[in-house]
Amino acid sequence: MSTINNARLFNASCIALIVTAMTFAIRAGILSQLGADFNLSDSELGWVNSMAFFGFPVATIIGGLLYNAIGARKLMWLAFIAHLLGLVLTIFAGGFWGLLISTFFIGFANGTVEAGCNPMIADMFPDNKTTMLNRFHVWFPGGIVIGALVSALMTNMGTGWQMQIGVMLIPTLIYAFLIFGQEFPESENIETDTAENVKGLFSPLFIFMMICMTLTATTELGTQQWIEKILGSAGAHPMLVLAMVTGLMAVGRYFAGPVIHRLNPIGVLWASSIVATIGILMMSMATGAMVYPAAILFAIGVMYFWPTMIGFVGEYLPQTGALGMSLMGGAGMFATAMWQPVIGKWLDTERTKVLAEGLSAEAADLAAGQATLDNLAVFPFILIFAFGILFIFRKRIINVETD
């Protein structure tokens, strides 16, 4: 008789994802402090950011390949060790290279959480995969809300960035406690033949969705990770904007079931790309109070991207198994990693150009942020056409892939 406590494992997964999200939010909130303390340019900060996004796909590739052999339990413990190591090393980092190494460990931990939890949840809830994955991924934006508010509060109190990093040790220890001594599922409801999983990766539909994932992830995470730099001079509090955006995303993901049932996953993705494009373009033109409604539209646009892409693989490409879900997340994070230094360069270049025209530093920061948002809008704009084609030909494509 099975003694698996699905509710406890699901809660542990959610708290582990909260830690993952807090690392993104708090790092976004302390970028200016890190830049000042270590005399780093935005381009250098982009490389630091990229280590978190680069460590993630490394972990998902390794975790996806090993999931069938070692299971979710060992991956969850590996995530805990990497989180602990990464956070402690960040606190004691002495400069650029220390930040690079410690941030890589944090990214590796975050990817291991996804590699272990996504297939485990799909296995525990085989008849409700996409809905439960959306409810699990509630806690990525939910954790960003927590992290953004903690960062804003501690920054206003004059608390150093080291203490903000240290706060994340608390939920890290909590999820370790929840998984301690627990029995984990044995992959009864997902494809566990690694050779079949690898074969499934060469499906044209999977390759197409991986390419789309690089765009959806950069749209969402590329914008959020630089929110403080992009909106710092737009007349709205960046961390409050981030908390509002991710709070809306959390609510939307929790109630994702009826939306996905009504529109189907492909319809949700197509509609999301349209709304996300409009939202980013509105943010690029907004100042003051108008930043908030633009940010709300952006939140509606990106809220379903990540979990629906993962759920799509679980439902329509089940032959890829845990490996397919892990690599889908890995592709998104790898692309976001590659774009981090580019986004930083966009900000540096535009700021330098405006300063050369004799304008103030505040005007230069505003112009740099708006120009960067214009560039970021290209990603969801491309997705409008990609998901539109997939939606129009969905019956033919899905039937071919599932035959």
Element (H, E) at 221: none
CA gap 64, 227 in Å, rounded: 31
Helices of type H across 125-168: 129-136, 139-156, 161-167
Structural domains of the chain ordered from first start: 6-180+197-402 (1.20.1250.20)
pLDDT in the model for residue 288: 87
Read off the tokens for 287. 């100042």
Read off the tokens for 240. 């409050």
Give, in order, the Cα–Cα distances in Å from 360 to each of 39, 315, 364: 21, 53, 6
Residue 280: what are its φ and ψ, rounded to 5°?
Answer: -65, -40
Closest of 304, 320, 76, 243 to residue 176, by C-alpha = 76
pLDDT in the model for residue 21: 92
CA gap 308, 279 in Å, rounded: 19
DSSP code, position 127:
T
CA gap 307, 133 in Å, rounded: 6
Closest of 234, 377, 337 to residue 292, by C-alpha = 234
Residue with structure tokens 């996300």? 276
pLDDT in the model for residue 195: 84
> What number of other Cβ atoms are within 10 A of residue 188's Cβ?
10
Q: Which residues contact 112 (CB under 8 A, 6 or more apart)?
A: 59, 60, 63, 75, 76, 78, 79, 82
Tell me the average confidence (pLDDT) per consecutive run of 10 residues in the chain, 403 residues long. 81 95 86 84 83 86 86 93 96 90 94 90 80 84 86 86 94 95 77 80 92 95 80 80 86 78 84 96 90 92 90 85 84 87 89 88 88 95 96 76 55
Length of the chain counted residue by residue? 403
Element (H, E) at 191: none
pLDDT in the model for residue 32: 79
> What number of other Cβ atoms are within 10 A of residue 128's Cβ?
14
CA gap 390, 172 in Å, rounded: 39
Read off the tokens for 124. 């525990």
Closest of 246, 269, 279, 295 to residue 374, by C-alpha = 279
- CA 320 to chain centroid: 21
> What number of other Cβ atoms are within 10 A of residue 101's Cβ?
14
pLDDT in the model for residue 278: 97
The answer, as to whether pTM is greater than 0.75, is yes
